[in-house]
Structure 1
Amino acid sequence: MPPDISADTDTPISPDLLPGSNLPETGQIPQDDATKGWSLHWLAWELLKAFKQTQDGSLVDASIQVYHKAIPYLSNPNSNPTHSAKAHRDLGNAYYERYKRFGRPGDIDAAIQHHQQGVTTDPSSSSSDEKFPALLNQQAMLHVCRFDCTGELLDLSEAIQLCQRAAELTPDGDADKPAWLANLASAFFSRFQRTVDVGDISQAVQLQARAIELLPEGHADMPFMLANLGNLYHSQAAITDDVADMLMGVQCHQEAVELIPDDHPDYASKLSHCGIALCSLFERTQDLEDISQAITLQKKAVDLTPQGHVDLPTWIINLANSFSSRYRRTDDLSDLSQAIQLYERAIAATPDAHGDLPQWMNNLGSAFAARFRRTQDPADIHRSIQQRQNAVELTPEGHAHLSDRLKDLGTSFVYRFRHTQDHEALVSAAYNYRLSATCATGHPLVRLTSAMHWARLSPQISPEEVLDAHEQITRLLSLVSGLENTLEHRRWLLLGTSRLSTTAAAAALSVNRPSKALEWLEEGRCIIWGQLNQLRTPLDDLRTCDPVLASRLEVLSKQLDNAPGLRKDSYSLDSATDSPQINTHDVSPIPGHIRLRLVKERDELLSTIRKIPRFENFLQPRKCTDLMKSIPDEGIVVVINADETRCDALILIPGRSEPIHVPLGRLSYEEAVRLTKALRRNLKSRRVRGEFVEVEEAGPQFRAARYPFTSFQDSLRDILRVLWCDLVGPILDVVPLEVRQHRIAHPTYKQRRVQKRRPSDTMETQGIINAYLFPDQ
């Protein structure tokens, strides 16, 4: 039997066995000649070994060809089936080696097929065979490799099952058990990177910790196992925001540094990664001691790494990130200048094809922008724009962080506009925000932030820009609110989006688009109402109707939208500062071509869902025509929108295709807020619990402040007078007479009683008015 191809041997290769020699044809060899099969097997093995030494592609091609010729002879009914199984596994390994060298997807498929056939057809491969767990582990690693190529989660699930079985079949005392557990942890972590399932990262942490427990003290792999566990804790902390996870990650990295010899080739790597863990802890705790230790370790890593080393630019970038983090805490310009010098040094030593170069350029652009905000030096903002433009140009389509980098570039142009009042800079800022907001990929919250910045700039550019920006805001809000319903998610939506729909509606009304304003207001109302009342999300409704479609959509959305490494403090949904963030860890586990495929799959899935009755508007705003059809025949509905820029009313009349727009020129947003507060005070004084009165504010503590009844009446009369003159009057002036006569209900008995008391103060309005007011609370 030839040796396993993973073994190292000094067996010489005969020149007669190299490509170009006359390889025997299948028909020329007697089918019962088992010796021929073994000879071909040996030849294939030698060719593969030569390929590993020379990386000559013709050698691996010849090896695969010869393996295919050998298998029929080894599969002869008179042959030992173990021999045929071994040949299939070795052929699978040959395909795998060619895949590693040339990246052909068909090769990894063939590798899995032949390796699996070699495992399932080998009579000696059973749960009692001591080599069986190793074969299962090899098969699992092939599935992981194909997952890295295609992004197909089924491969990861298969790998996890195979690794679990290998670990279960191996006793705790076996020397290979820690490796099997570590591989299983790695598979769970890979799945976590795509789905951001907390259960997967938790499993990975537990398995890696168990592998370390089983590793003998002093084992050479201990520093690396500890460092991997530290990385897992760090990833878990990014989801849980638990300081305990961060501290455990730092502890693991520190132990790894202590255990690895100073002269080990990976010593600098362990120093730098320990610094990263400390920097992340500092970002959470703001303890300067943590960031100082991080800088010390990362400086040492840089000093120990010789010039020209492939990892030196990475260690320099890690050090620069730590200086940037400390600057944001101390506001010390010397730290920022040091970071800029380090970024420039690393970028100068990095080839254009390096995958991390765009992020490093973006970090440098962020550092220049930060210094510009302090110094107002035009050269800094010029260099910020230059670096961020380079970063965008080098970022491939479909990359997870393309939308982030476009947003950051837009921010740099905003800084230039504020400094120079150059309209071209404003146009460039809006253009890049638009590109970011409409990216096919990228986290929806990042794109939503860009859409908001785009909307703020758009009135200075064109009316079309205004509508496009707010259209994208509403579309992204529908997407964000429709897929999750966690407590944190509801809180974020309420804090960050409660005013977006009213602002969008005001923008639409400013360009005479009442239909669009109604659509956006209704979508915002549904989102806010759903979050306040913890209602079912559209995904919950879909799950009731079609669990399979709902599950597919949820998995696709998690893969696309929940990339680890994206912190909620890296984007903002308030107007604030446009302050760019320098991400310490830029992780994009999904290659661009896979991400684009997933986007296409999700779009096709959404199209399928929207063909289902009742789901025509799934994760998108309802159309105005649909909303108008839902108006009850017995009355009209008036929607009132109060925004800082303007106040308007929309009159919805049954049978009409679009609302009537009534500008409320005499009613300002500030006046609406004043009236709301005054009404609250009056209701509190009378211990009345209305829609806008907090329950705890209507308790006994307000009884002593109860207003006299006369004062209450006078104040309420003033509020109603303003509402009548500035709000109700303009609306009634526009409502057609025939609508008032035929569609408005008669006064109630209570209204008539009020009229008898104070006829001069009564409101002549007869109808049903539903008002949606969103003033500051």
Structure 2
Amino acid sequence: MRGAPQSEDSLKILGDCLYASFIHTGHPSDLDGAISMFQRRATLTAIGHPSLPTQLRAIACLMLMRFLSSGLLTHVDEAASVVRTAIEGIPVGCADLPDCLCDMGIILMLRFKCFGCLSDRDEASKAHRNAVGLAGAGHQSFPSLLCGLADSLNISSNHTGDQLELEEGILLLQRAIDLTPRVDKRLATYHSTLGSMISDRFHSTNNILDATEQVRLLRRAVKAHQGSDKNILHDLLHRLALSLASLSEISGHLIHLEEAITTARKVVNLTSHSLPILLPSYMHFLGQLLGRRYHATGQLSDLDESLSILERVVEHSPMANHKLPDRLSKLGVLFASRYMVTHNAKDVEKAISNLEQAIKLTPPGHASLPTHYSSLGVAQLIRFWETAHLIENAHSNPSLAATFPVGDLNQRLMAAGMWALGSFRWLPNSPDILVALDTALGLLAMTAGLNQTIRSRHIQLQSDAPVVGATTAAPMALKVNRPDKALEWLEQGRCLIWNQINHLRTPLDNLHTHNPSLAERLKEVSRCLEIAGSSQEQPCADMPLRRKTSLQEESYAHANLAKEWEELLVQVRAIPTFESFLQPAKCSALLQDLPESGVIVVISVDRMGCDAIALLAGLDEPFHIPLPNFSKKKAEQHQRDLGLQLKSRELRLRKEDRGIDEEHSMRAGKRYRQPQGTPIRRVLRGLWNDVVHPILNMLAISQPGEEPPRIWWCPTGALSFLPLHAAGIYGPGVDSESILDYAVSSYTPTVSALLERVRNSRPIDNKVSGLFLTSQPNAPHTVPIPGTTEEVESIYKKAKGNRVFKVHGSDLTVDDCLNYLDVFSSVHFACHGYQNPEESLKSRFYFRSGTLDLGVILRKDLKNAELAFLSACQTSTGDEKLPEEAVHLAAGMLAAGYRRVVGTMWCIGDKTAQDVSMSFYDWLFDRMEPGSGFDGTLSAYALHHAIQKLRGDIGDTDGAILAWAPFVHWAY
């Protein structure tokens, strides 16, 4: 009866009924009524009663549900107030206190997620950590408390991009799962949350193993909850759809996207009958997936359905709903997409209107703003292409996105590219061009940070396709007459991982003089980061949970080290004279300590243009050499043509190099006569006419000489896979002319790497000065290599008393080999080599006792390494998916410390390998004092001589060229 007194029990029953009605109907009045009943019940409960905290927590939970329905911040504030009251009424040591603190953390973190207030995040984090600390491992809620803290860290990481928080969150979730009994219903929720966090890590690393693992976890959780709590099942299915969508992004398989859409439709259908409060969110996601499928298939019906769904969602979203800005943004992007098909002016206007409204409604400082700014910039550019309207705003929005301090890193990188390209195209005199490019190159380096393993960094660099990279920035700088910036950006944006390895091995003698303790800690952290970065083990489906947890502990420790490394660099740069310590090199620094005899030539290859930048001792600025007759398209065509020739001649594996050896056996009177227009000759002629000869002319290198000058080539893009050192015009029927007539060629990964070797050029320690030789003619899983033992024996005999040591076949273990690299300054491998096209760090040398992988080589830091001669196939081939990274065995030896490396760009013939090696060492040993240590200083000249001798013996037929051209010299 109205007005009649009500007991606590009756109030609870009424509240439960109203809540059940709300769940069924979605009417806000039912939820308000339920909250009112529970509040009245709480007022009847005595202060200090054991049940009061639980009652207050239930009220706060319903208030949060009301917030999710209305989006009004006041409802979050009310929930926080209720939980604070509960906490204040709980005595110290009460078992309910950790749960209440966890609730407070959840509420505050939700408010931070919606409104971006950092004080909320900090208070939430403190509450979660206090809850975990007070509870201890024996508390019945300990796993759920760990889950709460993990979720809090995940939300914070999504806002700040702090990988350390994400790694800690994943570790906490794995511990929670490990502590939860298999029959506990909460286990599925923990797996679901873990899957979501692994999904977030996937978006920062693009590691398909993360994407696959999250799908596996969620499938298991869905299966475990079939026929149980519908609310949990809906959430699990939704997260599974999210995970499948993520997997489709990296796998490229439409089947994953199709399954995601099917799962999302199922979620919408189930929710519309049982939990209408969540229906808008699930519909919004379904609309996004349909839009994504449209972009994959071009089916306009998907785009129309997607727009229809999202318009309905936006229409029914209250203005105060915290999710409205994101919904408006996604709707605007899809309108822009449809405009590109229909060219209906209303679509692009709706796109801009929705995106402007999204920005207006988003709280200042929120992590989603870069995405909104970037999308609005795209829409405005689309309109500009049609109407030439408001180009200034079209540039200002990408600049705001690129320079925003938080938010999705890849989105900010793409925005920086849009900003740079737009400014360059439409505002060519704007100083924004250089600022935008500086921003883009800085963000690009951040995408492959030291908090990831080298393998993960390679995956990230393969997956990212930035609008502007180093090779695009360089021609833009040259066109505005800034060769200094072009050089700086090519150095900064190429060989990122190579430079990271060098940074971790930077000598700290000067720093040690100023601050010994700081230098020692930086040295220790650097060493630990190298070890962590070289890890190869990845979690997999059948791995025990404890091992997964152990790997996650290693990952978390790795992220901690990376964070400490950055903090240590800040401390170092605060010391006078150390302000530029390990900062990207300025042009002025790159022009110091240049080799006295010779020239460094960096060649930029991009669709915007191709140019060479020459660095010569004595010049105070880079020397720009335009290459107007060359193009990215030509470079890629040359690469394809050469690849087809290598494939047609079966030069993929050393066992198939019989064709070369047959031609090798011919002498001058028995050579094949081949037309000068063969593909191989066209490639080398093109490189000569369009690249090398114009560079030589501009450098005034026009006369062959007895002592030709040195050229260190530093190519980019597809040119990295082409033999510049063999460029030329070869007979018959014409006068042959090639780079071999004018200069001695070497290659260098970066200018900085070469200069570092020039600066640190010093005599090799006599204790390790010597040559270690090994032949491996019969490695498992390979065909025998005839002649390798004879090759090594012949070199050994030529040593003339110099310190030389040899080991053959099974007498050498991989571990012994690594030890010998420490004991001897130089090494000669006569064996099989293999460039792994899928995982570059698993490129390897084959020994009788096992394999020596590139990943293992990179762990070495050989202070007295001199020369590595790699008489093996594919040791300087590189990875076509990482053209700007030096990812091959020769580069690995350089990274390990060798100053000079002889490698091969493709497979070599057995007889060819022997003859080049013999000529090479004959020339070197003739110039060494008997009994001295081994000196590789003249190795570039020795290889030049050996190739010229071989060429004189076998001529310039196609097969002969392919026999002598693969041998290359790296570094100083």
State the TM-score, normalizing by the size of structure 2: 0.50
Matched with 1:404 is 371
- 2:331 pairs with 1:368: no
Of 159-168 and 616-625, the range deviating more from structure 2 = 159-168
**1:182 pairs with 144, 166, 174, which one?**
144
- 2:417 pairs with 1:452: yes
> Structure 2: how far apart are the matches of 1:648 and 1:236?
43
The letter of the residue matching 1:184 is L
- 2:573 pairs with 1:610: yes
* 1:474 shift after superposition: 1.8
Task: Note if contact 2:602-2:613 (Cα within 8 Å) is conserved in structure 1.
Answer: yes
Change (3 A) 1:603 1:206: closer
Task: Note if contact 2:219-2:240 (Cα within 8 Å) is conserved in structure 1.
Answer: yes
- 1:643-671 CA distance string (max 9 Å, x none): 33333332323343311223234444555
> Structure 1: how far apart are the matches of 2:580 and 2:448?
14
- 2:490 pairs with 1:521: yes
Counterparts in 2 of 1:672-751, with a 5 A limit?
696=653, 699-700=656-657, 703=660, 727=691, 730-731=694-695, 734-735=698-699, 746-747=707-708
Matched with 1:629 is 592
> Structure 1: how far apart are the matches of 2:590 and 2:355?
44
Task: Note if contact 1:268-1:300 (Cα within 8 Å) is conserved in structure 2.
Answer: no
The letter of the residue matching 1:747 is P
Of 430-439 and 707-716, the range deviating more from structure 2 = 707-716
**2:619 pairs with 644, 656, 662, which one?**
656
- 1:619-653 CA distance string (max 9 Å, x none): 75311111111313344433333333333332323
Of 437-446 and 608-617, the range deviating more from structure 2 = 608-617
Change (3 A) 1:244 1:490: closer
- 1:684-713 CA distance string (max 9 Å, x none): 9999xxxxxx97478426548959856689
- 2:431 pairs with 1:488: no
- 2:260 pairs with 1:298: no
- 1:65-104 CA distance string (max 9 Å, x none): xx9xxxxxxxxxxxxxxx9xx9xx9xxx9xx99x999979
> Structure 2: how far apart are the matches of 1:496 and 1:480?
9
Residue 658 of structure 1 aligns to a residue whose secondary structure is coil
> Structure 2: how far apart are the matches of 1:448 and 1:539?
28
Matched with 1:390 is 357
> Structure 2: how far apart are the matches of 1:144 and 1:184?
12
**2:471 pairs with 493, 497, 502, which one?**
502
**2:138 pairs with 166, 169, 181, which one?**
169
Task: Note if contact 2:475-2:606 (Cα within 8 Å) is conserved in structure 1.
Answer: yes
* 1:326 shift after superposition: 5.9
- 1:323-354 CA distance string (max 9 Å, x none): 54565677554444333233222222323332
Matched with 1:638 is 601
- 1:210-260 CA distance string (max 9 Å, x none): 546465xxxxxx5x7744643433433554544454254255357657333
Counterparts in 2 of 1:71-110, with a 5 A limit?
none
> Structure 2: how far apart are the matches of 1:413 and 1:697?
55
The letter of the residue matching 2:446 is L
Task: Note if contact 1:494-1:528 (Cα within 8 Å) is conserved in structure 2.
Answer: no
Matched with 1:150 is 119
Counterparts in 2 of 1:37-116, with a 5 A limit?
none
> Structure 1: how far apart are the matches of 2:314 and 2:393?
26
Matched with 1:571 is none
* 1:487 shift after superposition: 0.9
> Structure 1: how far apart are the matches of 2:620 and 2:86?
60
Change (3 A) 1:357 1:654: same
**1:346 pairs with 313, 331, 353, which one?**
313
State the TM-score, normalizing by the size of structure 1: 0.61
Task: Note if contact 2:153-2:169 (Cα within 8 Å) is conserved in structure 1.
Answer: yes
* 1:391 shift after superposition: 1.4
Matched with 1:236 is 198
Residue 227 of structure 2 aligns to a residue whose secondary structure is helix
Change (3 A) 1:697 1:449: farther
- More helix as a share of residues: 1
**1:281 pairs with 244, 251, 276, which one?**
244
Change (3 A) 1:619 1:453: farther
> Structure 2: how far apart are the matches of 1:315 and 1:352?
19
5+ unaligned residues in a row in structure 2: which ranges?
A: 1-7, 11-35, 62-72, 113-117, 158-163, 203-208, 249-254, 512-517, 530-563, 711-724, 751-877, 884-972
- 1:371-416 CA distance string (max 9 Å, x none): 3344343322221222122212222332222112222222323444
> Structure 2: how far apart are the matches of 1:627 and 1:462?
30
- More strand as a share of residues: 2
> Structure 2: how far apart are the matches of 1:137 and 1:539?
49
* 1:516 shift after superposition: 0.9
The letter of the residue matching 1:362 is S
**Equivalenced residues, count:** 598
Matched with 2:841 is none
Change (3 A) 1:289 1:664: closer
- 1:476-524 CA distance string (max 9 Å, x none): 2233344344313213325657992222111111111111111112223
* 1:294 shift after superposition: 3.1
Of 132-141 and 336-345, the range deviating more from structure 2 = 132-141
The letter of the residue matching 2:197 is S
> Structure 2: how far apart are the matches of 1:635 and 1:386?
59
Matched with 1:647 is 610
Change (3 A) 1:165 1:332: same
* 1:281 shift after superposition: 3.1
Task: Note if contact 1:201-1:236 (Cα within 8 Å) is conserved in structure 2.
Answer: yes
> Structure 2: how far apart are the matches of 1:699 and 1:186?
60
* 1:537 shift after superposition: 6.0
The letter of the residue matching 2:244 is L
Matched with 2:344 is 377
Change (3 A) 1:196 1:548: farther
Change (3 A) 1:297 1:651: closer
Of 355-364 and 132-141, the range deviating more from structure 2 = 132-141
Give identity over the alignment, percent.
Answer: 25
Change (3 A) 1:410 1:528: same
> Structure 1: how far apart are the matches of 2:654 and 2:695?
34
The letter of the residue matching 1:295 is R
RMSD: 5.8
Residue 286 of structure 1 aligns to a residue whose secondary structure is helix
Residue 661 of structure 1 aligns to a residue whose secondary structure is strand
Change (3 A) 1:675 1:295: closer
The letter of the residue matching 2:478 is L
Matched with 1:438 is 403
Residue 637 of structure 1 aligns to a residue whose secondary structure is strand
The letter of the residue matching 1:660 is F
* 1:448 shift after superposition: 1.5
The letter of the residue matching 2:348 is I
